[in-house]
Every structure is written in structure tokens, then in C-alpha cells.
Structure 1
Amino acid sequence: AYMMGDDGTAAFSDKLVKVLRSVEKRYAQLFEQEAKLSSETGNLVFTGQADDPETLETLRKLGFERPESVSATIRAWHYGRYRATQSVEARERLTELMPDLLRTFGETTHADEAFMRFDQFISGLPAGIQLFSLLSSNPSLLSLIATIMSAAPKLAGIIAAKPHVFDGMLDPALMSELPTRDYLRARLSSFLSGAQHFEDILDRLRIFTFEHKFLIGIRMLTGVIDGTTAAGAFTHLADLAIGEALAAVVRELEAAHGVFPGGRVAVMGLGKLGSNELTAGSDIDLILLYDHDDEAMESDGPKPIDASRYFTRLTQRLIAALSAPTAEGVLYEVDMRLRPSGNMG
């Protein structure tokens, strides 16, 4: 008290009480809107180590069957468990969003499972403030996210594993432009234009394909396209990706072994790829056909090889380009066995 210039503890106590009351008043004003939102929904308290009984009851009323798990998950968010919730600003936006977030997810068919898929999604985000701000200001986007997490587990898995696909949902043309072959070809060509080397092309093909599988699924989920149109779009997407992968493989092979005189290659799609019925999770059945000049003995490059080894390597490298895991995952699982009897064909 003496160090603060007061005559004694009583004078110091009076000054301290005035300061504390001022802080209390300003703090109450700061969170006035938050309190209002909480009171409209019910009690929502996610501080401390133990569950708040009134909060658990609110979660049950909102539609959650396992409110303890939901409460524990939200507390982990507020403790900065994920990178997306480590900044003070992100947690403030999340607090503002929470009542609407819980109401929207509580109205879905499988509220608990949908909420946990959303938790998995934000666990992979590098930052959360932009997402939480977008969802706060765009109720339709929040509703769409909840629908994906509840009704489309495969789409939810894609967005959780590859959060960057969420960016495509922000494109205002998403619901107005249909995913035709020409539309996908133009987008893919533009996306690959900056690729510097073979591995970069493979990664970009994976990024593009994952994103557009997701966006095609979103269009079908929201009724913009029907199942038949979606199957055609998934097939066009795979066909274009295979074509770009084949072109990249041919360039790599020719750089090492040259061109095989009269060499021609065609890739034939079988199964759902051949019948234009691919889904987001389909593998692809392929046959590679080749031809060359009968008189040619070997390729004309710096390391010439005979026809059998040349086209065998091309086939093997194409399969690897499509199915080998890179930092961006696997493009497609590939089956090169003849049908209808699998490896007995």
C-alpha cells in the first residue's frame, strides 16, 4: 500500500475495489452478446475440468445422445488442442459460433457422429479464424457442412483428410456450373500449367482430383445434379486424370529411352469406368494396348531398349503414377486384370 502512495491498507483496499468493479463492468459489456446467445440456446459452459450439468442437459435437448463426449471435445478446442484453435482470436470466433454450431448439428440425423467428424475436420486445419468467421456470417454454409458431416461420411472423410478441398465450396460458381467434361478439362489444364516436374504433376493431379470428387459429391448431395450426371462427372474426371498421367509418363520414358519407332499406346477403361458409372470411391479397371513398327528392334534414345521392355515399363510407370502414394495420397486404385474372371481371365 505504501509503495502505491497510500496511507494504509484501508485506502489501498478502497482503490482496489473501485478498479475491480470497473473491470467487472467492462467485462460484462464485452460479453453481453455472448451471454444473450447462450441464454437463447440454454446454458453452454465449457470451462474447467468437469462437465457443467446444465450444459449437458442443454446438449441433450439440442439432439445429442452423448453430451459428455461433445462437451469434452469443445473443452479441448477452448484449450487450444488443435492448431486451428490455438489463437485467442480463433477461440473468440468459435465461442460466438458455438450456439449456432450446436443447434445446426443437433438438428442432423446423426448429431453425435456428425459433430465428431467436424472435430476431425478442424483437427487438420492450419488455422481456424477464417473458417469460424465464415460459418458465423453464412448460416447456409454452416448448414451444408453439417449435412455433409451427417449424411455423407465419404465426403466428410475427404474434407477431413484434405481440408484444402473446402476452399472449392467457397466458389460462387459451384452451384451454377455443371461439372461437364469441358468444364473439368479447362480447370485441370489451368491447374497443371504451373507444374515444374514429373512429381509435381502427380501431386497436382491428386489435389485436383480429390477436390473435384468432393465438389461433384456436394452438387449431388444438394440436388444440383442427379446420380447419373454425377457418375458421368466422376468418369470424366478419372478419364482426364488418366490421360494427363499417361502423357507425363510418356515424356519421362522418352527422356530416358527415346521414342519407339511407330509406337502407339491406347488405354481402355473397363468396368464402371468403361460404362460411365464411376463413384467417388471406385477403383479403375484398365487395359493398355500398344503397337509399333514390326521392323523396329529398339527405341532411339540414349538408353535404347526393346519393345517388350519399353512398353512394360510404360505400363508399370502408369500404374505407379496413378496408384503410388505421394504426399497428396493415392490418385486411383488400379486393377489391370482382365474380366470377368479376375486374375484367371
Structure 2
Amino acid sequence: MNTMDHIASLLGKEAEALLQHECTTLSKTQLNLPGPDHLDNAFGHSNRSPQVLRSLQQIYHTGRLSGSGYLSILPVDQGIEHTAGSSFAPNPIYFDPENILELALEAGCNAVATTFGGLALMSRKYAHKIPFIVKINHNELLTYPNKYDQVLFGSVREAWELGAVAVGATIYFGSEEANRQMVEIAQAFEEAHELGMATVLWCYLRNSDFKKGSTDFHTAADLTGQANHLGVTLRADLIKQKLPTNNGGFTQLKFGKTHPAMYEQLCSDHPIDLCRYQVANCYMGRIGLINSGGASQGASDFAEAAKTAVINKRAGGSGLISGRKAFQRPMKEGIELLHLIQDVYLTQEIDLA
């Protein structure tokens, strides 16, 4: 079975709807598309220094997707974000940070995004082998009762000294702490750029009122799209966002400013169109959108990974940042899953919708 047939078989009944969809909302001709010349097109007239461009070049030109304009990044910060036990119990070898780096290397990822502690122990052995993205803030879950706040775990200077080519951070847009987080991360990103590092922002939403009845609008296209727009305004060089699952967060929750065209002309209920609205909010794709892979569901992980990658690619996104689906299984299977994601971006028959 060739690669295209394998991907279609994983998509199953959704294959035609996802692979044959034609976008009639935002045309692909309006987008700045991923490709070998992405850095020149996106940042050629920007204030990013030659050192920052060199760091971005390292990320875009490493691994199996090197030079394609697409990214496959392994993120492993869940030991803090979700507790180490819950994250690594399915595969305890990943309590050892060296195995995280080995997985990213063996799978041909563009970069690995993980914690100060893990990279500090391994920097001399691996910093020259695969690009490091240091996650500089986290939400720890040991406080009781739990609170949800991203706090800095180290300095940008320390990340630079570890040999990192980029720093990553999360802002919980919509939360009570969002304003403080925005100020902290804006300052951190400014320092990172001064030191020649790229910046990656996890543009997540966090507010208990973003749920209405049984509908969770934390993954609504309009709310996540606006979070993306705030993220690129904070000078992120890449945006990480969850794949949208619905729309109408502003209208259903009755806040914010909207325009009927947001829902009637710029978007539809199709998952590719929902994701394209996220891309549009990243300065029409000038800043790359990488969607997260989500939690591991076991047997369905390969199908879900293929689906997420197809949606992101056909929408105009720049790749996936997928962790738990890969590291919560034997390393050989984790490598196969990451290769599957990369194969979606390497398969020319899967084009922009």
C-alpha cells in the first residue's frame, strides 16, 4: 500500500470529505503558504535579526521535513503540565529526558520542545544534534486546590546558554492572569529575539465560563483565532494552537466584538475551514500555525494523527506539535506515528484546499 492509500485508509469514512474538500471561504491564494522560501517571504522585511533567522532556519531545515516549509515538533512538557506520573506511566522510559531527545532524533523531528531540567542535563550531548525549544513557563498542578496559571521556570538567558534556538511559552488567554502573562512573555520574547532565538507561543484559552452547557468553546474557531492574533501581535515566530472543533464562541457566550462575515463568509462548519480561520488570524499564514496533537486515545491515535495533519496542511498550517500520542507508546511505535504525520506533509497529492 502506498503512502497516499495508507493515509486514506486511516481516514476511513472521512477520507473523501477531508481529502477532496474545496475551500470556498478564504481562498488559498490569499494565504502566505508554507514552502522552501517561507522564511524569506514571512520575515524578509521584518525586524528579525540575522541571528533569529538563522535559528528559524535550523528548525525548518532539520529532520525529515527539512526544507519543505513544514514542521514536526516533539513537545514533552507534560511532566509538569499534567504530572509526571500520569504522563510517563504508560511508558516509564521517558522519565529519563535522554529518551525524549532520542525519540525526536530517531523520528526525524525538526525540533524538540521540553523543560529546562531535561535540556540542562542533556545539552552538551544533544544541543548540536537537534534544535532545542525551551519551554520557559508552566502550569504546575501540585498546589491544592489546583490553580491554573503559567509561571516562569527559568530565564531566557539560561535557555540561550543551553544552546536553545528558540523559547516556547504558554499564555492562558481569557484567564484572570492573562494580562500579567502577556507582559511577562512579551518581555521574554523581546529578550529572546535580542539573543538571536526564535519564539513559539502556545495560545491556549482558559476560562471556566468558556463552557456553555455541554459545549466547550475553548476550541472554538473564533476564540482560538483571536488568541492566535494576540499571539502574533506579541511577536511569536510560530503559533501553537489546538485544532478547532466548533465555532461561535463570541456569539454564544455573548461577549467580544463580531461581524456576521466572520461566520457566514470567512468560515464554515467544515474542519478545514475552521482551521483556515485560525491560519488567517496568524497574519494570513505569515506566522506559521502548528496544531497540537492532543491526548493519546490508544488504538485510534494513528487515525487521529493523520486526520489532524491533513486538516492542518490543507488549511494552510505549518505542521504539528505532537507529543503524548508518540511518547505514551513503545519508542518504535512512537517513531512510526511521527513518521506518519511527516508523511502527510511530504505527500504532494495532499494539497491546499
**TM-score, normalised to structure 1's length?**
0.21
Higher helix share: 1
- Where relative contact order (Cα < 8 A, 6+ residues apart) is larger, the structure is 2
Higher strand share: 2
